[in-house]
Structure formats: structure tokens, C-alpha cells
Chains A and B, each alone.
Chain A
């Protein structure tokens, strides 16, 4: 906290930037209905045409979005006390096991939990028809969900077994609490073996016959804030159709992954832990996912506004698909064995074109993350801001930072081109 405060003051005093705006100033403009808000796709052309400095003067907020399956998601629910009371040690929602050992009637249901009696991969590839992700979607869609719980009985909580129907609106609390979402970037998956494999990266055909990728690329939140300069703890975001917050760095957040000449990491790198009120959310942006042969997950829509405080942030938010690289990994052999090997570097322009080259061979690609969903999210967030319903926040603390960052280092490299 202290070091953050010092850093901010020093940055301001030194004023290494030509444009210096504050979050307060931007929020005032939003209040007055004067803020200029564009999505991260629109920002590319603005910076290319007018340069980072002019773009920073002109644009106040860049909105981003991503909509894909994000494991490490779950819901924290409080179902209220029953009569007689129970200290629910074991809990199931629509026969999907949740974690109950929090208190009496608090529970946490993980997106990847599968329904009791699911054949799993007994007949490979398993279908994984229903699980935690679907329970979360059903709750948000305001469908009834069957809750069963078992307790061992205490003097204050005598009930040993309950079964009831719950609706989201009757719950005291329904909070989406996702330990790792919005991965900054992701791997491209392919399969070197002679068998079709069924992975969380989709179906990968033998002999490098296809490749899949999972990122919104130029629209993705942390690819537009590659050094986590404005996205930090406390940042207000779009989450699943409602308002949420960044609460911590995501599990496995690694700011020191290899970066390209624009400072954009070439693989996973950063991630966010996020939280939001499920009662505000919509099944349009939160969907249970059954992944053939792999399991259950949750597709989550996340959108993050980036305040354009200076020309460097304008530069970072102007990143385009061809400037975002991703390594190609073999999910048939290397990945499951944790062998550090890759099949080259591609970029999102190539990936989105439908073909990449692996070992000199043209390989068809397919996305797993919905780009049209990402656009819809960035546009919704833009509209919220223009409607003066959504204001920007200054992080109360920064996420773990990258050693590679120095103010203006990457913009200076590009200045001639801008």
C-alpha cells in the first residue's frame, strides 16, 4: 500500500508522460456525459491514425471483454437457516456436491464439480451432462435448484438431513467468487499423437490435424493492460452481466512470463480473482459448459474498463491481434507429461484467419472463446459508462507486477511507428 502511494506520487511529480489524467477527472467527465468511451477494437485505429498522445487526449476509457470457459470459478451461497437448524457438513445442489465445511449454511460450489452418479470417462469420451457450472447457470436463470444437506447434529443445530428447493432470489447471498478468470493470454493446443484426444481445449485430431486457441485477443482485458497498470485490487468490472470487482491476482498469476516487443506476454501470464453478485447476472453471460471427455466448467463473461490516463496506456490499449503472440503446445504428448516444449509461436491474426503453420504444414484452427461475446461485453460496458451507470475505480493495491516494466519503455520503442 505504502509503496504504491509513493510510486504514484513520484510518477505524477516526474510527469514522464505528456498526457496526465486522473480517474477522478475521467469520472467527472462520465458524470457530465462528456466522457469518450471506445472499445479496444476501435482504439486500434484511433491510435494508428492519431498517435498515442492525441488518442490519450481524446479517449477517456477503453472497454474490453472476454467470454470463454474459465475453470476455477464457483459460487458462494448462504441458504439461510432452516427450522430446525442444520450445520450442513455435506451439501448437494441438484445432486452436484458442494463444499459445506465453512459454517452452518454457507456453501461453495465449484464450477467443475460433476453430478452424483455421472459415468465420468468410464465410456470415453464422457459427456459430463451436468455439474457445478450448470447449477450456477440455473440459479442465475432463476430456475429452482434442489438442495440436500447432511449434518451430524449438535445441540444448537439438531437437524441431520434436509432437502429443499432454493431460488436465487430467496438466498441471503449468492456471490460468484472465481479464483482464476480472464487469463491474460493462452496456449494454442494441437495434437502430435496418432489418436484423437478430448481436452479442455476441445477435440484435437491426430497428426496435427487441427489446433484450438482460447482468447479474445485484441479485446481481452489483460492483453490491453499488459503490465496491470490500471487493473488491480478493487477494480470495478463487468462480470456475468452484472457489476463485479477484482479482488486479488488469479491463482497461477505469473507476471514474469516471456513478453514480446510490445510487452505482451506470449502465454498465460496474468490472471484475476473476481467477485460479483449473482443476482444481477444473466444466463447470457454465464453458462455451464460440458466439455466432451474432460468435464464440467463455466463460461464467464468478463469486461474491464481501462482509464486512458496517459499516452502509454493509450498505446497499450491499441494492441491488435497480429501483435499478440501465443505459443503452440502439444496436448497429446508434451502437455500431459509436463514437458517443456513448443511448436512455435503464432499470433491472433493468423489464428483468427482459420489456419496456422505447424512444422511447415497448414493446420486449421478453431476458437474456443467467443469473440462475438467479447464484443457484446465491451459494448455493454461502454453503454453502461455512457449511461452514467458505471464509474471507474482506482485500485486500492496493484497486482504482483512484472520486472519488465519501466514507464515509457515499450512506447518509446514504437514511437516512430505511431
Chain B
């Protein structure tokens, strides 16, 4: 079993196709929707956590790619510039998954758990020191 968070981008032409439903039926995968958006140019973006057998997972991802979906793995994509971050906490207020959170309540330093990140980009926009970044494809 593997489980990975992916960001899927659906160009306008395929935004209407039930591709995610296909991968469940055809490859026996399960998914958890973390974020879904349709932009003014009808391009869709969907952040999912997809789980299943390793072979099915690979085939499912390939199926999406073959149908024109662009795929980015969320894992390790968020980055914090440690020279810029001064642990103010603005990001903690907006992070929806506690990927940015404060564990040690004495030092009050902001921890980053990359595995919890869903690449929503809220922290990137809110960080007053511009310490947070995501690759352009997100």
C-alpha cells in the first residue's frame, strides 16, 4: 500500500471528464480530496491523497497522464528559507493541515512538517518575510 498527495491540473478540454472516478473503478484506488478549484479559464486543479497497491497506483497515475492531466507530487515541494524565517507565526494562523504548527510551547518556534503539506500556498502568500515557497507548477 502506498499513499501520496498529488496536485492534478486539468486543462479546459478535459475538465469535464470523470477521470478521478475512472482511476478508482479501473485501478482500485481510493482518494481523499484536499482541495478543488476551477479557475476562470475553466482549468481545474485538484489536490488529492491517492492510496492503493503500488502497481495500481503507478497505473492510475499513468492513466491520468495519458488523458492529459498534469501531475505534481506534493511531497517535499514546500520550502522554507531558514535565513528569512524568524518564527513570527503568521503562517500558523492559515495553514489548514498543521503542516506549519508550534509543537514546543516554550520556545514557540514554528515547525514545518512537509508530509502534512497539501501545497495550498496560503503560507506563501501570508509570510511577511517571504520565507515560504512552492515550485512554480503549483
**Which residue of chain B is the closest to A287 with respect to CB atoms?**
B129
State which of A125, A284, A292, A371 has its C-beta within 8 Å of the C-beta of B108: A371
Query: Once bound together, how far apart are the Cα atoms of A287 and B90, in whole Å?
Result: 14
Q: Knowing A368-B89, A369-B88, A372-B87 touch, does A289 contact B129 (C-beta < 8 A)?
A: yes
Interface: B125 (CB within 8 A): yes
Interface: B4 (CB within 8 A): no
Query: Once bound together, how far apart are the Cα atoms of A353 and B104, in whole Å?
Result: 10
Interface: A244 (CB within 8 A): no
Interface: A354 (CB within 8 A): yes
Q: Knowing A352-B108, A353-B105, A375-B107 touch, does A368 contact B90 (C-beta < 8 A)?
A: yes
Give chain A nearest CB distance to B121 CB in angstroms. Answer: 12
Interface: A291 (CB within 8 A): yes
Q: Is the interface of B mostly helix, strand, loop or mixed?
A: loop
Query: Once bound together, how far apart are the Cα atoms of A287 and B128, in whole Å?
Result: 9
Question: Is B87's CB under 8 angstroms from A290's CB?
Answer: no
Query: Once bound together, how far apart are the Cα atoms of A352 and B109, in whole Å?
Result: 11
Interface: B78 (CB within 8 A): no
State which of A299, A366, A372 has its C-beta within 8 Å of the C-beta of B128: A299
Query: Once bound together, how far apart are the Cα atoms of A50 and B64, in whole Å?
Result: 69
Enumerate chain A residues within 8 angstroms of B125, measured Cβ to Cβ: 125, 127, 292
**Which residue of chain B is the closest to A189 with respect to CB atoms?**
B93
Query: Once bound together, how far apart are the Cα atoms of A161 and B109, in whole Å?
Result: 48
Q: Flag B99-125 by CB within 8 Å of A: 1 or 0 each.
A: 000100101110000000000001001
Interface: A248 (CB within 8 A): no
Interface: A100 (CB within 8 A): no
Interface: A241 (CB within 8 A): no
Question: Is A299's CB under 8 angstroms from B88's CB?
Answer: yes
Q: Flag B73-101 by CB within 8 Å of A: 1 or 0 each.
A: 00000000000101111101110000000
Enumerate chain B residues within 8 angstroms of A291, measured Cβ to Cβ: 90, 128
Query: Once bound together, how far apart are the Cα atoms of A212 and B89, in whole Å?
Result: 9
Enumerate chain A residues within 8 angstroms of B93, measured Cβ to Cβ: 202-204, 210, 212, 366, 368
State which of A202, A290, A366 has its C-beta within 8 Å of the C-beta of B130: A290
Enumerate chain B residues within 8 angstroms of A204, measured Cβ to Cβ: 93
Interface: B14 (CB within 8 A): no
Q: Knowing A210-B93, A352-B108 touch, does A368 contact B88 (C-beta < 8 A)?
A: yes
**Which residue of chain A is the closest to B100 with respect to CB atoms?**
A366
Query: Once bound together, how far apart are the Cα atoms of A162 and B122, in whole Å?
Result: 41
Enumerate chain A residues within 8 angstroms of B108, measured Cβ to Cβ: 352, 367, 370-372
Enumerate chain A residues within 8 angstroms of B71, measured Cβ to Cβ: none
Question: Is A352's CB under 8 angstroms from B105's CB?
Answer: yes
13 contacts across the A-B interface (CB closer than 8 A): A68-B88, A202-B94, A203-B126, A204-B93, A210-B93, A212-B93, A288-B129, A367-B88, A368-B88, A368-B90, A369-B88, A370-B88, A372-B107
Nearest 8 CB-CB pairings of A with B: A371-B108, A366-B93, A289-B128, A367-B89, A366-B92, A372-B87, A370-B88, A366-B89
Interface residues of A (CB under 8 A from B): 67-69, 125, 127, 202-204, 210, 212, 284, 287-292, 297, 299, 352-354, 366-373, 375
Q: A69-B88, A290-B130, A368-B88 are in contact. List 9 more A-B contacts (CB 8 A).
A: A68-B88, A287-B128, A287-B129, A289-B128, A367-B89, A367-B102, A370-B88, A370-B108, A371-B107
